[in-house]
Homo-oligomer: A and B are copies of this chain.
């Protein structure tokens, strides 16, 4: 691994797959980027109801913009129109942060679910990514990333669940799983 000599080029990174560690890996990139003094924004598209560990820690970091804009998981919802409006609002925030060029890293956490439920038109998101300022890194997480997004991405890591404690009857743990 050699350090860059070329001007920084913003990467499009996708963490997908059914294994654990997608949001977690994105948070790790935030951890690393903050150490370099990069300007970071996180937009969470689904999470919203819970006080997550990441949200609590983000509140201690004034240099980090952390927008929790989801309303919880769709399969628990009784108002899809409201969920769709929340996805739209989250995307408008994200799009402005990306297009402004004032952020170095923008994380779109669980964005892929908004395509799956037809809350957002994929083409609109791809266009915003395609035309973003050259230095802006974007990280997208979520299962079932659309093929066109994978094609555009510079880096795709698929998390494969080799073993998962929930299937073994171990419940979600505070501070570890959320």
Contacts and interface: CB of A to CB of B under 8 A. Distances in A.
Contacts of A4: 171-174
A32 B55 CA distance: 8
A134 to B, nearest CB: 12
A175 to B, nearest CB: 3
Interface of A: 1-6, 8-9, 11, 13, 15, 17, 19-21, 23-38, 52-60, 104-105, 137, 150, 153-166, 168, 170-178
A160 B157 contact: yes
A27 B21 contact: no
B57 A172 contact: no
**CB-CB nearest 7 A-B residue pairs:** A35-B57, A27-B28, A36-B175, A24-B28, A35-B56, A32-B53, A35-B53
A6 B174 CA distance: 12
Given A8-B174, A157-B161, 9 more contacts: A4-B174, A24-B32, A31-B31, A32-B53, A35-B58, A35-B60, A154-B168, A156-B161, A160-B160
B174 A3 contact: yes
8 contacts: A5-B171, A27-B27, A28-B28, A29-B176, A35-B55, A35-B60, A36-B56, A150-B162
